Chains A and B, each alone.
Chain A
């Protein structure tokens, strides 16, 4: 059974770069036709999709974050990563990684989620 686990620093200062990694276990990140996604959720608020990456390296980003986001994938480590530059307090949130169902469509649902990791931006 595929599982996802986020990891990375939990505390950042304003203007720093957020770097998170999602490790895939129980299956190959290159298997089937999955997109690998990042989603975030500020405390007490709703979900915000950040972006996604395919194992080919193809990406889509949320237009509201596109100028600050970079995603990458490392198939040898079965991991994919998120970098968010120039963070502010508004970037404080629980960050989730998630896998889509692998139906090779642009609009597939997310069937497996990591448990989430809290990132706090504070001086």
Chain B
């Protein structure tokens, strides 16, 4: 069964770059999706299939995936990017989705 490891928190100054990692055994062989969740709201898809963005998501959000680490990168961070971010994969060994524990991004 897949286990996804995310750091509990990341802090970044406005205008800088935030990188959120999602670790997993051979995660580079899987399609990784990323969600943003603000307090009291449902999650929002920000990156799918490792690096694709839904049309309404700013280009500042990008993703990559290789080896044992997937990364969500937020460029030119804004105050409105402060949220929890979750990675997700499909575990084909037991046919179910797995989420990472989430990373709280704080904008200083």
A90 to chain B, nearest CB (A): 17
Quick one: given A107-B90, A111-B54, are A49 and B45 in contact (CB under 8 Å)? no
A108, B99: Cα distance in complex, Å: 13
A49 to B35, CA, bound (A): 13
Task: Give the chain A neighbours of B1 by CB distance below 8 A.
Answer: 63
Pair A49/B96 contact, Cβ less than 8 Å? yes
For residue B95, which residues in chain A have a CB less than 8 angstroms away from its CB?
Answer: 60, 106
Among the listed A48, A63, A96, A107, which residue makes an inter-chain contact with B94, where contact means beta carbons less than 8 Å apart? A63
Do B89 and A107 touch across chains, with their CB atoms under 8 A apart? yes
Task: Identify which of B42, B48, B89, B94 contacts A101 (C-beta below 8 A).
Answer: B48
**Contacts of A98-123 to chain B: CB distance below 8 A:** 101, 106-111, 113-116
Q: B interface, how many residues as a size bin?
A: 20 to 34
Instruction: Give chain A nearest CB distance to B90 CB in angstroms.
Output: 3
Pick the most buried of B35, B42, B94: most chain A CB atoms within 10 A of its CB.
B42
Contacts of A47 in B (CB 8 A): 35, 37, 43, 86, 88, 99, 102
CB distance from B84 to the nearest CB of A (A): 8
Give residues 26-71 of B contacting A (CB, 8 Å).
30-31, 33, 35, 37, 42-45, 48-49, 54
Interface centre among A63, A96, A110 (most CB of B within 10 A): A110
- Lowest 6 A-B CB distances belong to which pairs? A107-B90, A109-B48, A109-B33, A49-B97, A113-B42, A47-B99
